[in-house]
Structure 1
Amino acid sequence: MTDDRRALRIQVIIAVMCAALVVYLLLLGRIAMGFITSGSAAAVGLGVALLALPLIGIWVMVSTLRAGFAHQRLVRRAREQGMDLDVSDLPRRPSGRIERDAADALFETIRAELQGDPDNWVRWYRLARAYDYAGDRSRARTAMRKAVDLEEGR
């Protein structure tokens, strides 16, 4: 499967999941309004609590989509600049993931690049990718947020 077809497939899956989530949140909101309009104090309390869930769900969905769009923009810009990480020659496990020692060595190289130019969003983007390849998703997300902030001038 080509990268473009794979990306399109992922985008369609995301769109379907978001649509299903919106339908679910609308139904949940409708149930909440039913509780609120019932008049019973306990039901009104439950309705208000239930009404908060769709609001939280929408906020989470929108913030996740915004972050995903920002990350894709960074990927596109890094590739245009020829700065995306090339990991095609790194040894892989049978599962397809990069071997830990190779990922750690890549991480050390990228971290040294960042120390030489800490205000460059591309360096933070590359660090985020290196963290991801090394299996540290939490730090990868933090580094990617920093890359987005720098790229957007924040």
Structure 2
Amino acid sequence: MRAKITYFLTAAVLVVFFVLVGGRAVAIMQLGTPLGIGLGLAALIIPLIGVWFLWKNTQFVRKANKLAALLDSEGALPVDELRRTPSGRIDRDSADEVFAKRRAETEDSPGDWRCWFRLAIAYQDARDTPRARKAMQRAIALHDGKPVPTA
């Protein structure tokens, strides 16, 4: 729940920022000078890219949450199997074991979105966000029946 609140607050702040920057860009363009129009158009690109990024990220989160709900309904949500040091850091040997298990599972069933989802969660637990995101994108694509590029 805390993550949802944080996400919505961040999204709201970004939307306010996009509106403010977009308003300034339009105001600069209304000066009517070639330089003003050029700067205004350039400044208008920032909120447009930001809105696109926010939209794509929101879609990703919604689809990942949908897959999590499906696995939950099946009773197959993965659990955090990583051992931790007393300070809370992940034990590297434990991470290697879990990743080896998840990778083997994924290699055995490369077309199963559930395997890719569990691999993504293992990466996220280990704070490897880029790999977690790629694995989750693959899980979403497989679930949606979209073509998945070979690695």
Task: Give distance in 2, aligned partners of 1:135 and 1:37.
Answer: 47
Change (3 A) 1:14 1:137: closer
Equivalent residue in structure 1 for 2:62, among 69, 91, 94: 69
What is the TM-score normalised by the length of structure 1? 0.86
What's the C-alpha RMSD, in Å, of the aligned pairs? 1.6
Query: CA-to-partner distance for each residue in 1:16-68, whole Å, 9 max, x for gaps?
Result: 22122111111111110111110121111100001111110100111111111
Question: Residue 147 of structure 1 corresponds to which residue in structure 2?
Answer: 139
Q: CA deviation at 1:75?
A: 1.5
Q: Say if 1:133 and 1:14 are closer, same or farther in 2 by CA, change over 3 A.
A: closer
In the TM superposition, 1:35-114 aligns within 5 A as 35-87=28-80, 90-114=82-106
Answering whether residue 123 of structure 2 is matched by residue 131 of structure 1, we say yes
* 2:8 pairs with 1:10: no
With over 3 angstroms needed to count, the CA separation of the structure-2 counterparts of 1:73 and 1:96, relative to structure 1, is farther
Structure 2 length normalisation: TM-score? 0.88
Sequence identity (%): 37
Which stretches in structure 2 are left out of the alignment for 5+ residues?
147-151
Instruction: Give SS of 2:49's match.
Output: helix
| Alpha-carbon shift at residue 132 of structure 1 (Å) | 2.5
- Taking the aligned partners of 1:63 and 1:53, their CA distance within structure 2 comes to 16
Aligned residues between the structures: 146
Cα 1:149/1:18, change in 2 over 3 Å? same
Change in Cα spacing, 1:97 to 1:84, as seen in structure 2 (3 Å) is farther
Query: How far did 1:107 drift?
Result: 0.7
Contact 1:125 1:143 in 2 (8 A): yes
Are the equivalent residues in 2 in contact too, given 1:100–1:134 (CA < 8 A)? no
